[in-house]
Amino acid sequence: MKPRKNWNWLLMGSAFILAAGVVVGLGGKLRLDFFHVSDKESAAMESPASVPAAPGASNEAVKLPAREAVQFRMTDLNHGWIEYSDGTMVTDDGGATWRNTGQSVPAAAALSPDGQSKQWSVSELIELQNSGGTLPSPKQATIGSTLVPVKQSQFLTKLIGWALPASQPGAHAEADESHHPLLVTIDGGLTWQDVQDQAVQQAFAAETEQLKKLREEAERFPDKETARQVLGSNVSAWRLFPESASRGDVVLVRHNGPGTVKWLGKSYTLEPFGAGYYTYLPITMQTKPGAYPIGDQTLTIKAKEFETQYLKVTEQLESMRQDTQRINADQKKIDAARSKSAETFLFSSDFIQPIEGILTTPYGYTRYVNDKFDSAHMAVDLAADEGTPVKATNDGIVALADNLYLTGNSVYIDHGMGLFSQYAHMSELRVKTGDKVKRGDIIGLVGTTGFSTGPHLHFTFWAHNVQANPNLFFNSNPFHWVKGESASKP
């Protein structure tokens, strides 16, 4: 049996060698068709956008169905997302470019724990800007002369919005950044386009700048609810901070547009700040109680009486008040210093009391010197030890730092928009004209220079060159007066 086995193996080996020789003899042209894939078919297999034709059908590739967009949302002018049935695309340039992401729809940003953070998000600012208004919600969009059905639309402002067409031709999972799945409008939906040209970019930039201004203004108010009451689009174009005051006070006016305010025979220019326009209205001591129209608002001036003070001074001190030449020369310096003010608010926080002293003369007292009527004392006198540091009541620019005849070593600080603070009778000056100061900076030391009977600080505010009650400002600021904080203070 063994010889037959060996013979069988010999026959099988010879057959294999013969088959190999046939292949070589054909010059390698034998094709095993059941394993072969043509170049055209290979390319079709690699392409995700087509599949091989079915047997008996056309030889043309069959395109996959267009990718279906489920919904979209723009969270601000730059950021947004589109949810597809098979994934999500995001943008961070207002929809100019999009990229695929493996993540699901981004979650909404969480609010601060107490919901009262003074930091305003872009979405909150947009909501504030649109409060009380109705935004467009079109069902169709016009591109050139073509009317396109809209599956979903979203407007962030009355002019800027996006729309998702009902059909998305050419959209697929591998769409690159050149794909524009959303339409955009910058004219309230009158016209639409599927690309962001220079006009769209300029409109976005202008709106972004407007939101920055709105944020700057909104963050000056004590809380978001107060800001909404003042800045919401559904509120009055005019606002008074506060709506009632007394003679010797000052009121801050806000309007939605530029212009002037007529008040007590004078005109006050509304200066731009944030998204609004502002000016101070000084309430002179001669203002009579009553109701005064300011735009579409009413300012109520309440009656207020001030006490009387009697001072006894030496003949030498009394004679100082007779040197009108020196007094007038100093007044020219003061008038020049207060004639120019920064056209914006230089402060962003509450005002502080410059020293912790003893109040010897309240604001508004009718003063008699040596039994003769002198004037109304339109400042507060705070007695303190000589050399006590005097602090800047708030941020500003030193408009004047000089030794003056009646008020001695004196400083005037410009806080912007026509508001100045005054510090007098100091023993030493620690700042010079033109210096920028921050709230709490040491600007001098308590003294008794000029017309003074003892160490103290004479302190007051000036609004458009009219003295204003300092008590309104301490631990507050004009943006807080909207709640009526300034009314009825002593």
Work out the average pLDDT over 445-466: 95
Same-domain pairing of 442 and 414? yes
Same-domain pairing of 247 and 131? no
Domain tally for the chain? 4
* Domain span holding position 53: 37-66
pLDDT reading at 332 higher than 60: yes
Same-domain pairing of 384 and 471? yes
Same-domain pairing of 255 and 401? no
pLDDT reading at 23 higher than 60: no
Instruction: Return d(Cα 13, Cα 49) in angstroms, integer.
Output: 49
Instruction: Return d(Cα 111, Cα 284) in angstroms, integer.
Output: 45
Amino acid code (one letter) for 187: D
Q: Which of the listed residues 151, 185, 216 is the one where a domain comes to its end? A: 216
Same-domain pairing of 126 and 244? no
Task: Confirm whether 345 is domain-assigned.
Answer: yes
Instruction: Return d(Cα 273, Cα 271) in angstroms, integer.
Output: 7
The bridge status of strand 436-437 relative to strand 87-91 is: unpaired
Same-domain pairing of 324 and 250? no
Percentage of the residues of the chain whose pLDDT score is greater than 90: 58
Residue pLDDT, tens place only, 115-138: 445 688 888 898 888 876 788 999
Task: Confirm whether 325 is domain-assigned.
Answer: yes
Candidates 63, 118, 148; CA nearest to 348 is 118
Tell the burial category of 218 from Cβ atoms under 10 Å away from its Cβ (0-12, 13-18, 19+). buried
Most confident option among 16-20, 149-153, 323-327: 149-153
Cβ-proximal residues to 474 (8 Å cutoff; 6+ apart), any chain: 351, 352, 353
Candidates 422, 275, 398; CA nearest to 341 is 398
Q: Which of the listed residues 284, 302, 320 is the one where a domain comes to its end? A: 302
Task: Confirm whether 114 is domain-assigned.
Answer: no
Same-domain pairing of 348 and 474? yes
pTM for this predicted structure: 0.77
pLDDT reading at 151 higher than 50: yes
| C-beta of residue 183 within 8 angstroms of C-beta of residue 132 | no
Same-domain pairing of 400 and 475? yes
Beta strand segments in 182-325, E: 183-185, 238-241, 244-246, 250-255, 259-263, 266-273, 276-282, 290-294, 297-302, 308-311
pLDDT at res. 9: 44
Number of residues assigned to the chain: 490
Task: Confirm whether 226 is domain-assigned.
Answer: no
pLDDT at res. 381: 95
Task: Confirm whether 14 is domain-assigned.
Answer: no
Same-domain pairing of 83 and 199? yes
Q: Residue 194: which pLDDT band, with cuts at 50, 70 and 90? A: confident
Same-domain pairing of 88 and 211? yes
Instruction: Return d(Cα 74, Cα 20) in angstroms, integer.
Output: 68
User: Could you tell me the CATH number of the domain that includes residue 464?
Assistant: 2.70.70.10
Residue pLDDT, tens place only, 62-84: 444 457 888 999 988 999 999 98
Task: Confirm whether 28 is domain-assigned.
Answer: no
Percentage of the residues of the chain whose pLDDT score is greater than 70: 74
Write down the residue that tokens 């396109």 correspond to.
148
Same-domain pairing of 319 and 273? no
Same-domain pairing of 428 and 462? yes
Task: Confirm whether 189 is domain-assigned.
Answer: yes
Write down the residue that tokens 């087509």 correspond to.
50
| C-beta of residue 386 within 8 angstroms of C-beta of residue 343 | no
Task: Confirm whether 212 is domain-assigned.
Answer: yes
Q: Residue 106: which pLDDT band, with cuts at 50, 70 and 90? A: low
